[in-house]
């Protein structure tokens, strides 16, 4: 009776052998998948169970890896000093004898002339709508203590109508702002904070005023920027006028920015 039970037991194991087999699959892109199959062998004379492994190669179950390309574009500056950006200013509506804070940096000069070959130029073409006043100094990239220095000045002309028949004097006031790099960190290479100058730029005298004045060895190379885009960063004054006319007219004044380099560093 014990022998019959033993035979039944062995037959049961043999019939269940395949269904109890564990299956493990490992996949990677651009490779074959491997199937590892462990089977139970119940044919040994001592009724012991031996573990055997069968390794088979299968076709990859994923498509080939997909790739795409993009670009990194940059203009590398080395050994030069450049004036990269100058701001436009819009002060909205104002009357003679008043002072108004900055409204935006979107100046509408569509009716004004920007081409000197077409007559008197009464509008600039280089201003930006972000309020950026930016210089890049790359004249000495290895030793910031020997950055040569530079000055940036600004002058302003009279406000004019598009047909140049009417003019008004004006005073553009620029408040002192932090000078920062492209990461909005102050460009100073010491514990001090470098800023633009607080200036009044007037058409009454036509004189250029120094907005940036960086001295040798006090700043780091690279981008040097101030941003005039808030009401408190700039304002415009129109002195009182004797005109009694009742009209609204769009007027524009040209600001001229001039960058002057201090003596450049000479290398041995």
pLDDT in tens, 196-244: 999 999 999 999 999 999 999 999 999 999 999 999 999 999 999 766 5
126 plus 173 within the same structural domain: yes
49 plus 98 within the same structural domain: no
28 plus 131 within the same structural domain: no
Distance CA 22, CA 12 (A): 18
31 plus 97 within the same structural domain: no
The domain total for the chain is 2
CB 44 within 8 A of CB 52: no
In a domain, 34, yes or no: yes
In a domain, 150, yes or no: yes
Over range 22-42, report the average pLDDT: 41
Over range 43-69, report the average pLDDT: 59
87 plus 119 within the same structural domain: yes
In a domain, 209, yes or no: yes
135 plus 172 within the same structural domain: yes
Distance CA 212, CA 200 (A): 13
102 plus 163 within the same structural domain: yes
Element spanning 222, H or E: strand 222-227
234 plus 109 within the same structural domain: yes
pLDDT category at 117 given cuts 50, 70, 90 is: confident
201 plus 128 within the same structural domain: yes
In a domain, 105, yes or no: yes
**Residue-wise pLDDT tens digits, 137-149:** 999 888 878 899 9
User: Is the confidence at residue 20, as pLDDT, over 50?
Assistant: no
Q: How far is CA 97 from the centre of its chain?
A: 40
Per-residue model confidence (pLDDT) at position 35: 39
- Domain boundary residue, one of 27, 58, 89: 58
In a domain, 50, yes or no: yes
23 plus 154 within the same structural domain: no
pLDDT category at 1 given cuts 50, 70, 90 is: low
Distance CA 182, CA 131 (A): 14
Q: 52 or 112: which carries more pLDDT confidence?
A: 112
- Residue by residue, DSSP assigns 174-189 as E---B-B-TTS-B-BS
174 plus 52 within the same structural domain: no
Q: Where in the sequence is the domain holding 214, given as residue range(s)?
A: 81-240+250-261
pLDDT category at 120 given cuts 50, 70, 90 is: confident
pTM of the model: 0.70
In a domain, 197, yes or no: yes
In a domain, 165, yes or no: yes
160 plus 202 within the same structural domain: yes
């Amino acid at each position: 009776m014990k022998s019959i039970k033993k035979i039944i037991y062995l037959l049961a194991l043999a019939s269940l052998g395949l269904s109890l087999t564990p299956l493990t699959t490992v996949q990677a892109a651009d490779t074959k998948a491997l199937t590892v199959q462990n089977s139970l062998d119940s044919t040994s004379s001592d009724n012991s169970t031996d573990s055997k492994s069968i390794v088979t190669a299968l076709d990859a179950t994923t498509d080939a890896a997909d790739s795409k390309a993009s670009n990194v574009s940059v203009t590398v500056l080395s050994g030069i000093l450049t004036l990269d950006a100058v701001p436009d200013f819009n002060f909205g509506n104002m009357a003679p004898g008043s002072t108004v804070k900055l409204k935006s940096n979107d100046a509408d000069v569509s009716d004004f002339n920007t081409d000197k070959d077409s007559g008197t130029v009464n509008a600039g073409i280089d201003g930006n709508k972000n309020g950026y006043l930016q210089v890049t100094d790359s004249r000495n990239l290895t030793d910031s203590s020997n950055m040569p220095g530079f000055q940036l000045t600004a002058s302003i002309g009279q406000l004019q109508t598009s047909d140049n028949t009417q003019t008004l004097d004006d005073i553009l006031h620029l408040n002192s702002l932090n000078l920062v790099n492209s990461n909005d960190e102050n460009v100073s290479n010491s514990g001090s904070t470098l800023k633009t100058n607080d200036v009044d730029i007037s058409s009454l005298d036509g004189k250029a005023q120094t907005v940036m004045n960086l001295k040798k060895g006090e700043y780091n190379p690279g981008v040097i920027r101030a941003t005039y885009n808030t009401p408190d960063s700039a304002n415009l004054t129109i002195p009182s006028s004797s005109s009694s006319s009742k009209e609204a007219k769009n007027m524009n004044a040209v600001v001229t920015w001039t960058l002057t380099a201090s003596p450049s560093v000479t290398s041995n």
